C-alpha cells in the first residue's frame, strides 16, 4: 500500500497511529490532557471519534478514554434541575423517567439518535462536544438553557450552552479540558417542549432539527423558546422569534410572522444531506408542527 494512501471511506480500519490511555480517575485523565494538550482527544463512546479517525478527519496522537473512570455516569435531580454525567450513555438518558417526564424535547431528541446499538455506546456529552451543527441533543439543551461543566487541572468552569458551540466541530473547550457533566434546569412549570427532526433515513443526521418550549396563559404566550440545528454553523436559538411571540396570542397571523422570522434568521447551506432552499422552507413547517404538537401536550395536562 502506498505510504501516502488516504482513506476516504468508512472501513473497519483506523489508519491512524495513536497511544490509547485508559485512566481510572478523572484526575489522571486531566493530567494526561494537560501533558498531551492539542495532540490528545477525549473518548467517551467513540461513535463519532472513531468514525472521524477512520476517515482521517481527526488524527489524534493520544486518546484519553473515559470508560474506566468511575463516578461520572449518573442522572441525578439536584439544585432545581438534573445533572447528567459525562459517561452517561444516551440509552440510559432515554430510559430515565425524570428525563421522559420533565424534559420531553430532550427525551424525543435522544430517542431519535441513530439506533439502540449506537445509543448504548454514545453519550450526551460526546454529542455536544463533537459540535456537529446537526447534533440532535443541542436544540433541546439550548431551549432548556443547559450549563456545561468543564474541568482542567486548574479547576472547574461553567459554560452556558449558548456560548459552548463555536463552529462546525468547534467548541469553546480548551485543549486540556474535559466536560464532566451537563446541568439542565427544570423548565418553567406548566410549560411543554417538543423536538422534531427531518432526516433522509432514520439512521442519519438531521437535515433540520428543532426544539421549542412554550408556556401559555389562556391563549397568550408567556414563554417561548426556539432552537434549530443543521441550519447554521452552530445550533441556534432564535431570540428575535422568541421576543416577537412572548405576550402575544397564539393565532394564525402571529404564527406566520414567527415562521418568517425563523426563515430569515437561519443561515443554511447546501450539503450532502439537503439544500439551502429546502432547509429554509422546511424550517417554517417544522416551526408550525412543533408548536402545534406542544400546544396539544399543554391541553392534555
Ligand atoms: C451510525 C451512526 C448514526 C448516528 N446518528 C446520529 C443521529 O441521528 N443524531 C446525532 O446527533 N448523532 C448521531 N451520531 C453521532 C454520535 O453517535 C453521537 O454524536 C454521540 O452522542 C457521540 O457520543 P460519543 O460518546 O460516542 O462521543 P465520542 O465519539 O467519544 O466523542 C465525540 C467528540 O467529543 C469529544 N468528547 C467526548 N466526550 C468528551 C468530554 N467528556 N469532554 C471533552 N470532549 C469530549 C471527543 O474528543 C470527540 O471529539 C451517529 C453516529 C453513528 C456512528
Same domain, 216 and 259: yes
- Supply angle C-alpha 181, 58, 55, rounded to 5: 120
Which residue lies with its CA nearest to atom 2 of ligand 1?
114
- Dihedral sign for Cα atoms in the order 292, 81, 67, 168: positive
C-alpha 138 – ligand 1 centre gap (Å): 12
Same domain, 181 and 197: no
C-alpha 125 – ligand 1 centre gap (Å): 8
Residue 106 contacts residue 99 (beta carbons within 8 Å): yes
Alpha helices (H) in the chain, listed in sequence order: 26-36, 49-54, 90-95, 97-102, 104-112, 116-121, 124-129, 138-143, 161-164, 239-245, 252-265, 276-300
Each as own residue / partner, the long-range contacts of residues 41-47 (CB below 8 Å, 24 or more positions apart, any chain) are 42/66, 42/129, 42/178, 43/67, 44/86, 44/87, 44/122, 44/123, 44/125, 44/126, 44/129, 45/89, 45/121, 45/122, 45/123, 45/126, 46/121, 47/114, 47/118, 47/121, 47/122, 47/126
- Last residue of one domain, picked from the residues 185, 202, 226: 185
Residues near ligand 1 with C-beta < 6 Å? Answer: 41-49, 51, 66, 86, 90, 113-114, 118, 121-123, 125-127, 129-130, 135-136, 173, 178-179, 203, 205
C-alpha 119 – ligand 1 centre gap (Å): 10
Query: For residue 166, what is the enclosing H or E element?
Result: strand 165-167
Q: Which atom of ligand 1 is nearest to the CA of 60?
A: 47
Question: Is residue 1 in a domain?
Answer: no
Question: Is residue 18 in a domain?
Answer: no
Q: What's the confidence (pLDDT) of residue 1?
A: 41
Q: Which atom of ligand 1 is nearest to the CA of 135?
A: 11
* C-alpha cell at position 261: 422570522
Q: Which atom of ligand 1 is nearest to the CA of 48?
A: 29
Query: Which residue among 23, 45, 122 has the greatest number of ligand 1 atoms within 8 angstroms of its CB, and so is best to mutate?
Result: 122
Domain residue limits at 241: 191-300
Per the structure, how many domains does the chain have?
2
C-alpha 169 – ligand 1 centre gap (Å): 11
Q: What's the confidence (pLDDT) of residue 46?
A: 98
Q: What's the confidence (pLDDT) of residue 6?
A: 53
Domain of residue 207, CATH code: 3.30.390.50
| Closest alpha carbon to 291 in 243, 260, 244, 259 | 259
Question: Is residue 11 in a domain?
Answer: no
Question: Is residue 150 in a domain?
Answer: yes
- Supply angle C-alpha 118, 120, 125, rounded to 5: 85
Q: What's the confidence (pLDDT) of residue 9?
A: 62
Same domain, 121 and 82: yes
Query: Which residue among 20, 40, 47 has the greatest number of ligand 1 atoms within 8 angstroms of its CB, and so is best to mutate?
Result: 47
Phi-psi region of 51 (alpha: psi -120 to 50; beta: other; left: phi over 0): alpha
| Closest alpha carbon to 226 in 254, 203, 246 | 246
Question: Is residue 53 in a domain?
Answer: no
Which residue lies with its CA nearest to atom 38 of ligand 1?
126
| Closest alpha carbon to 257 in 297, 235, 288, 228 | 288
C-alpha 132 – ligand 1 centre gap (Å): 9
Which residue lies with its CA nearest to atom 9 of ligand 1?
113
* C-alpha cell at position 207: 437535515
Same domain, 177 and 203: no
C-alpha 261 – ligand 1 centre gap (Å): 31
Query: Exposed/middle/buried for 120, CB within 10 Å: 0-12, 13-18, 19+?
Result: middle
C-alpha 89 – ligand 1 centre gap (Å): 10
Q: What's the confidence (pLDDT) of residue 77?
A: 96
C-alpha 127 – ligand 1 centre gap (Å): 4
DSSP per-residue string spanning 89-152: BHHHHHH-HHHHHH-HHHHHHHHHSS-HHHHHH-BHHHHHHTT-TT-TTHHHHHHTT-EEEEEE
Same domain, 200 and 292: yes
CA distances from residue 79 to 75, 130, 184, 185, 250 in whole angstroms, order as listed: 13, 27, 10, 8, 33
Regions of the chain with pLDDT less than 50: 1-4
Q: What's the confidence (pLDDT) of residue 7?
A: 53
Residues 6+ apart with CB under 8 A from 100: 94, 107
Residue 141 contacts residue 131 (beta carbons within 8 Å): no
**pTM recorded for the entire structure:** 0.95
- Dihedral sign for Cα atoms in the order 197, 144, 131, 53: negative
Amino acid at each position: 500500500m502506498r505510504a501516502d494512501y488516504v482513506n476516504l471511506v468508512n472501513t473497519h480500519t483506523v489508519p491512524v497511529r495513536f497511544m490509547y490511555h485508559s485512566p481510572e480517575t478523572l484526575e489522571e485523565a486531566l493530567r494526561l490532557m494537560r501533558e498531551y494538550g492539542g495532540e490528545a482527544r477525549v473518548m467517551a463512546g467513540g461513535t463519532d471519534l472513531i468514525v472521524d479517525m477512520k476517515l482521517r478527519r481527526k488524527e489524534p496522537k493520544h486518546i484519553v478514554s473515559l470508560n474506566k473512570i468511575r463516578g461520572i455516569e449518573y442522572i441525578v435531580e439536584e439544585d432545581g434541575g438534573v445533572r447528567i454525567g459525562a459517561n452517561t450513555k444516551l440509552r440510559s438518558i432515554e430510559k430515565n423517567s425524570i428525563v421522559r417526564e420533565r424534559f420531553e424535547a430532550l427525551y424525543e431528541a435522544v430517542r431519535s439518535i441513530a439506533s439502540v446499538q449506537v445509543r448504548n455506546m454514545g453519550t450526551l456529552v460526546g454529542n455536544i462536544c463533537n459540535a456537529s451543527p446537526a447534533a440532535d441533543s443541542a436544540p433541546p439543551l439550548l431551549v432548556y438553557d443547559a450549563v456545561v461543566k468543564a474541568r482542567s487541572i486548574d479547576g472547574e468552569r461553567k459554560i452556558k450552552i449558548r456560548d459552548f458551540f463555536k463552529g462546525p466541530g468547534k467548541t469553546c473547550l480548551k485543549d486540556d479540558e474535559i466536560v464532566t457533566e451537563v446541568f439542565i434546569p427544570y423548565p418553567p412549570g406548566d410549560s411543554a417542549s417538543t423536538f422534531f427532526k427531518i432526516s433522509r433515513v432514520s439512521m442519519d443526521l438531521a437535515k433540520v432539527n428543532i426544539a421549542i418550549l412554550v408556556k401559555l396563559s389562556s391563549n397568550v404566550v408567556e414563554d417561548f423558546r426556539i432552537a434549530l440545528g443543521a441550519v447554521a454553523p452552530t445550533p441556534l436559538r432564535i431570540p428575535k422569534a422568541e421576543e416577537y411571540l412572548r405576550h402575544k396570542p397564539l393565532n394564525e397571523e402571529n404564527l406566520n410572522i414567527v415562521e418568517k422570522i425563523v426563515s430569515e434568521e437561519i443561515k443554511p447551506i447546501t450539503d450532502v444531506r439537503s439544500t439551502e432552499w429546502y432547509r429554509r422552507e422546511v424550517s417554517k413547517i417544522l416551526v408550525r408542527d412543533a408548536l402545534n404538537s406542544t400546544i396539544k401536550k399543554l391541553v392534555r395536562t
